[in-house]
Chains A and B, each alone.
Chain A
Amino acid sequence: MTADSRGRMLLSALVALVLTVLPLPWWADMLRPQFLVLMVLYWSVNAPRTGGIALGFFAGLMLDVFQGPVLGEHALALSLAAYIFVREHQRIRSKPAFQQALIVFAALIAYEVVLFAIDGWTGHPVTSLTRWVHTLTGALIWPPAAAVLAYGAGRRA
């Protein structure tokens, strides 16, 4: 059971990572939600024991390799987001999709604030507003993304 769900988790992480680093035209790149973050949040709520903070940390480390100015930046932000969701997973799981999307929005804002602060401290300040766009699109895409992940998980279980 654990091995199986771990496999599913890794598969979805791989797909999310590919979607995250897939080269897109600039407008699509700006609107692109952070699929890897959504994936981590989904597993934090639905399988807090298997995934959770460790998953967030390693997914974030991978993200750092692809696009982080400093190693460990996304790892910290994603561990934080995962921690919030693991801690409150029972409360979040019982909410309807719309409210879940709002909570995801808040988590994505927290995630981006951490990145924003670290960017500034490490000397790569990025003050443009476009960096916040993905929090909105991420919240919007949460209900369908969660449904897809749940469907994939349910069918193969």
Chain B
Amino acid sequence: MAAFGTGASRPLQGRGGSGFRFTLYAVLSVIIMYLDQRGHYLEQVRYVLQAAAYPIQLLVSSPPAAWHWLKDSFQTREALAAENARLRAAARDLELRTMRYEALARENGELRGLKEALPPVADRWLAAEIVTVQVNGLRQRLLLNRGAVNGVFKGQAVLDDRGLIGQTTHVGPWSAEVILITDPEHAVPVRIDRTGLRTIAVGAGDTSTLALPYLPANADVKSGDLLVTSGLGGVFPEGYPVARVTEVRRDAVQPLAQIRAAPLAHIDTDSEVMLVWFRADHPAAPTTAVLSSTRPDAVSELKNGNPAIQPQAAPRKPPKPAASPPPASPPASPPAAAAPAAAPGTPPAATPAGEP
């Protein structure tokens, strides 16, 4: 204790001093919390803090990274040759399939009556390494080694080679945080591939389970059904595989079915993921809805309701029916007109599925 010298053992100038400072910092924290929660005003601050945090995150992830590097550099020649052969075969396989794909895409375009086949919806993609993984029942996040300098933006879709993984939540200059689709706070708008039924898949808190909490008990869904993104919600484009239904339980008392699904992406074994940019003008591109609905906390919005979306759903009748004929009512003020158009793209899109 003596090590701290006189500086530490001198009494503080009265107890009021520390109380005042605590009040100051407490008020500051509350203001920060309010700004961050309500207005998302602190993106710049987050950006700087994310940059400051990145070296520590790299440091923390270095022991496993070093171990992988060691393991890789001591691999035998035979193992490498075998892997090479396997990859070559896989590449040939994929090339064959792509050939077929081109033909199919053209045929599809012709069937749709389009002049030429559409370009793929994914414009470009970028491989990113996972720096750290944070997976527990409350929070499931990844940290990727790509950030704003690589063009990564907030709310970008993240995939692996099998399916959807999540979306970026906070983007720093050299790093980006990804919320997994299995995070309890994440919801992804999906479509059942077999029937076209739209609903929402919510993270269940472990890396191998999604829940479909909003389907009625008589919905046509069964174990083994493939879930693909529905393209609503403004983040993910349409048609990417998400999960496969593993369990459907119908309780006679409950109006809603209890459905579980397993994500197709290998969330717990991946070491590299893909950040994807999409063509905005493509029909399968995510519909750009009201921006607030693309936030990962859309679930809490479902519970509390979003005042920007709900009141405008039913257009009001004009006050004087005789004075203004119907054409006068649709062009209301621009924000009011935009809201009903955007409503299908928001999480409440589950309602069509909710009412049998």
Measured CB to CB, the residues of A under 8 A from B are 1-2, 5, 14, 17-18, 21-23, 26, 29-30, 46-50, 52-54, 56-57, 60-62, 65-67, 69-73, 75-76, 79-80, 82-83, 86-87, 90, 93, 118, 122-124, 126, 128, 130-131, 150, 153-154, 157
CA gap between A49 and B12 in the complex, in Å = 7
Is B12's CB under 8 angstroms from A126's CB?
no
A50-B7, A69-B185, A72-B30 are known contacts; what are 17 more A-B pairs with Cβ within 8 Å? A5-B4, A5-B8, A14-B56, A26-B135, A26-B136, A60-B29, A65-B52, A71-B42, A72-B31, A75-B25, A76-B33, A79-B22, A79-B25, A87-B15, A124-B138, A128-B138, A157-B5
Q: Mark B38-54, 1 if CB is under 8 A from A, else 0.
A: 00001001100110110
Is A76's CB under 8 angstroms from B26's CB?
yes
B308 at the interface (CB under 8 A from A): no
Interface class of chain B by DSSP: helix
Partner of B32, one of A46, A71, A80, A82: A71
B21 at the interface (CB under 8 A from A): yes
Q: How many residues of B contact A (CB 8 A)?
A: 50
Is A122's CB under 8 angstroms from B26's CB?
no
B132 at the interface (CB under 8 A from A): yes
CA gap between A65 and B25 in the complex, in Å = 17
Q: Mark B301-316, 1 if CB is under 8 A from A, else 0.
A: 0011000000000000
Interchain pairs with CB closer than 8 A, number: 140
Is B25's CB under 8 angstroms from A57's CB?
yes
Q: Assuming the A-B contacts A57-B28, A65-B50, are A122 and B4 also in contact, with contact meaning beta carbons closer than 8 angstroms in the complex?
A: no
Interface class of chain A by DSSP: helix
Which B residues are in CB contact (< 8 Å) with A123? 297, 300, 303-304
Is B28's CB under 8 angstroms from A66's CB?
no
Task: List, sorted by A's number, 18 A–B pairs whose CB atoms are closer than 8 Å.
Answer: A5-B7, A5-B8, A18-B60, A23-B134, A30-B136, A46-B1, A46-B4, A47-B4, A53-B25, A62-B53, A67-B139, A72-B32, A73-B29, A76-B25, A83-B21, A123-B304, A153-B3, A157-B3
Which B residues are in CB contact (< 8 Å) with A29? 136
Look across to chain B and name the residue whose beta carbon is closest to the beta carbon of A21.
B60
B322 at the interface (CB under 8 A from A): no
Is B138's CB under 8 angstroms from A126's CB?
yes
CA gap between A124 and B183 in the complex, in Å = 11
Which A residues are in CB contact (< 8 Å) with B57? 21, 66
Which B residues are in CB contact (< 8 Å) with A153? 3-4
Q: Assuming the A-B contacts A23-B61, A47-B4, are A53 and B53 also in contact, with contact meaning beta carbons closer than 8 angstroms in the complex?
A: no
